[in-house]
Structure 1
């Protein structure tokens, strides 16, 4: 028991890597997650909650992008794996529980997370004009849905909306300044602040940021 407590205390107190530092085990951890996905862990997650399949794949793809931003040697692997994850999210299985009749299509949860992953991939490689166009088209669709809605919180499912889903969809617009030639216009967006016109493109715009202890 004493040994276990000491090990636990050591892991807690030992300095942890910062946001821009690459933990040595990242590749092994992502390989473990990929093996789990290959063995249908995303389908198993779907049985636990309605967004399980999408979350399992989109977070895997975003994790690879973030890893490549801190270690450029992982770029090729990150592009391959994040594009693989995006294809799964865009698949029939990935869209199965969402309605194409919503605005944006398949609801704000699916649309927001999917386009965030698209933008994240473009932050590593925006040479694919087709991918840039697809990202821009979906960004415009999301912006249009916000601008025509009577509420700032769009539906994720028919008749159901959660503020957090719309927040993710709005956050993804940070990618537009570095992933497309011009930002998606948000001037008529209901209940949300417009981005500053002097926003500077950032290669890490699509990364998920976790607070450091000093930020609290």
Structure 2
């Protein structure tokens, strides 16, 4: 048992020094995408994730497309990898329009099919179009994107709440933030037309925050009254999109989020699902919550920290995932958690794809608490082995 403990400690400390291979692209992310490609094309991963929760297929294909899209500016367009990135991103975008993807969403909502579907599919289409030279943008994709933006804008203009419904009688503000980010990207790609609406939306959001001054996790449809306060999983996600809407506004929210959700376990960083002082919570949105640390909050929080410039925490979260997430390489690519939950692999890949040619920098001593604890446990294990040998 002592030998096993020493082996585990050595492995964990080694993985905390994980350095991704960033040339010619982020090779680790490419290997993750190769695993996801097989899962999606050959093993129906989208349908399998949809059986776990209704948004599974849209979530998985959206993250898959966005991760390929993040790589596009960093690889030559005519290279094998560049062609693969464009082909796979567009394939995933088409999956978002499939009858299976649409089947779980309501076309009769004020925003047809709801904020989750229109937000994510519109945002993915925006990022894909933005990554292409204007002459190479497909006319049908552009028309569909313009149509989605018009629908989102029209629904907001007639809504008393800044948080549109995702399902009939259910509104999760994080979904609406993605939809507004799609409008913000419209105004980067084309002649701006939604800036005034976005500013009105931000002002309305300020009137419907939770007690901590953060965007709530769930609100009452129609009024936007808080039903569930901010949680780590939704904050980690929505802050990535809020940054693209208004980075100055988003930084204020990020500072509150960091103060309320960033924690440390065994000397390593993590994001809690519940805010400091709030009762513990766990559900399908949070993923597993271990010792108060949320799985989804931490996986996506790694990207959030890098997005807002906290590179020390971002590196700590990334390398902790590499240490404890059971990463594995084989001929099919790279995957985590034995490859049993492709949506987790997709979140990790998307989180790792941000600015792949800007390596995270941090003081080397950020690991010291975990290393000190490891040294203590190693000393006990070695002492146990010595006593055992003396007795024999």
SS of 1:13's partner is: coil
In 2, Cα distance between equivalents of 1:14 and 1:81: 28
2:27 paired with 1:24 = yes
Q: Is the 8 A contact 2:20 2:28 kept in 1?
A: no
Pairwise CA distance, 1:186: 4.3
Q: Is the 8 A contact 2:184 2:194 kept in 1?
A: no
Pairwise CA distance, 1:153: 0.5
Alignment map for 1:3-22 (pairs within 5 Å): 3-16=7-20, 22=25
Cα-to-partner distance string for 1:157-211 (whole Å, 9 max, x where unaligned): 011101111111112223113332x123242455325978xxxxxxxxxxxx542
Partner of 2:55: 51
Partner of 1:138: 148
1:183 to 192, 205, 208: 192
Q: Is the 8 A contact 2:115 2:164 kept in 1?
A: yes
Q: Is the 8 A contact 1:60 1:85 kept in 2?
A: yes
More strand by share: 2
Cα-to-partner distance string for 1:115-155 (whole Å, 9 max, x where unaligned): 11111111222432332222122112111111111100000
Partner of 2:311: 214
Alignment map for 1:1-216 (pairs within 5 Å): 1=4, 2-16=6-20, 22-38=25-41, 39-72=43-76, 73=79, 74-125=81-132, 126=134, 127=136, 128-180=138-190, 182-188=191-197, 190-192=200-202, 210-212=304-306, 213-214=310-311
Deviates more, 1:109-118 or 1:39-48: 39-48
Decide whether aligned partners of structure 1 residues 188 and 122 sit closer, same or farther in structure 2, where only a CA change above 3 A counts.
closer
Pairwise CA distance, 1:37: 1.1
Unmatched tracts of structure 2, length 5 or more: 205-244, 247-302, 314-392
Cα-to-partner distance string for 1:81-109 (whole Å, 9 max, x where unaligned): 11110111111100111011113210010
Unmatched tracts of structure 1, length 5 or more: 197-208
In 2, Cα distance between equivalents of 1:165 and 1:40: 25
In 2, Cα distance between equivalents of 1:90 and 1:100: 13
SS of 2:168's partner is: coil
In 2, Cα distance between equivalents of 1:91 and 1:115: 14
Decide whether aligned partners of structure 1 residues 215 and 129 sit closer, same or farther in structure 2, where only a CA change above 3 A counts.
farther
Aligned length: 203
In 2, Cα distance between equivalents of 1:136 and 1:32: 33
In 1, Cα distance between equivalents of 2:119 and 2:21: 29
What RMSD over aligned residues (CA atoms) do the two structures have, in Å? 2.6
Q: Is the 8 A contact 2:69 2:131 kept in 1?
A: yes
Q: Is the 8 A contact 1:89 1:95 kept in 2?
A: yes
Pairwise CA distance, 1:113: 0.2
